[in-house]
Amino acid sequence: MTLSERIRAAKHVFLIGNGGSAANAMHICCDLLSCGVRAFTMDPATFSAFANDHGYDKTFAMWLQIVGKAGDLLIALSGSGKSPNILLAVEVAEKLGMDVHREFGAEQGLDMQQAEEAQIKLGHDLMRALK
């Protein structure tokens, strides 16, 4: 099943990422709002409160524990694929029975700039496929 088909089939779609990947998650979220896609980084007050109260490594995982359910889709963006908060979120999503799509640049042999470009291309490809 393609990622666009997985988005259509999902109850809810969540995007996560750090730094440039967080910016890309927000960009993709804006392009796909009509599909119900949400990015936790779109709410900096709640995001920073979670990080302040519980630690940055747990921010995405805690968010998913609150809002994520089986049948939802997590799209995890990471240039390195080594960020503890991303990896913990993926683990939590899988335990919840969510579908998970990893867009990890290093797994594709990409450097950070190429990884972030691939994330934006993915978002634009999804926007065209989901029109």
Instruction: Give me the pLDDT at residue 43, please.
Output: 87
pTM of the full predicted structure?
0.95
Please list the rounded mean pLDDT of every run of 10 residues in the chain (131 residues): 94 95 94 89 89 94 96 97 97 98 94 95 93 80
**Beta carbons of 106 and 81 less than 8 angstroms apart:** yes
**125: CATH:** 3.40.50.10490
- Domain total of the chain: 1
Provide the pLDDT for residue 45: 92
47, 59 contact by CB (below 8 A): yes
Owning domain of residue 25: 3-129
Q: What is the pLDDT of residue 131?
A: 80
**Which among 105, 97, 109 has a CA at the least distance from the CA of 20?**
105
